[in-house]
Amino acid sequence: MRMVSSQLQGNYWFMNSLAVFDKDTANHWDNVAEGWRKNSEEVNKHYELLVEDIIPIEPGQVPFSDYKKTEVRECIN
């Protein structure tokens, strides 16, 4: 459970850092990586992978999942 929590915190830091530090700022990836305990290369690679994931989503090439209400309820409980 601790690993999931740590991963969620890292993703939260990553998303917020992308919003705070403009991509044209000097040392952009270093600033984003600072609180995430990763180096700038790892953070940049993570970003590139996210961009690759988004490319087919934006034009609607990835279908929405058809979750049943019971499945959602089970995940919440």
Domain count, the chain: 1
Q: Work out the pLDDT band at 45, boundaries 50, 70, 90.
A: very high
Q: What Å distances lie between residue 6 and 9, 12, 13, 37, 45, CA to CA?
A: 5, 10, 10, 11, 19
CATH number of 22's domain: 1.10.10.60
Separation CA 34–CA 32 (nearest Å): 6
- List of residues 6+ apart from 62 with CB closer than 8 A: 56
The model's pTM: 0.61
On the question of pLDDT at 57 being above 70, the answer is yes
Residues spanned by the domain of 46: 2-76
Least confident interval from 27-41, 42-56, 61-75: 61-75
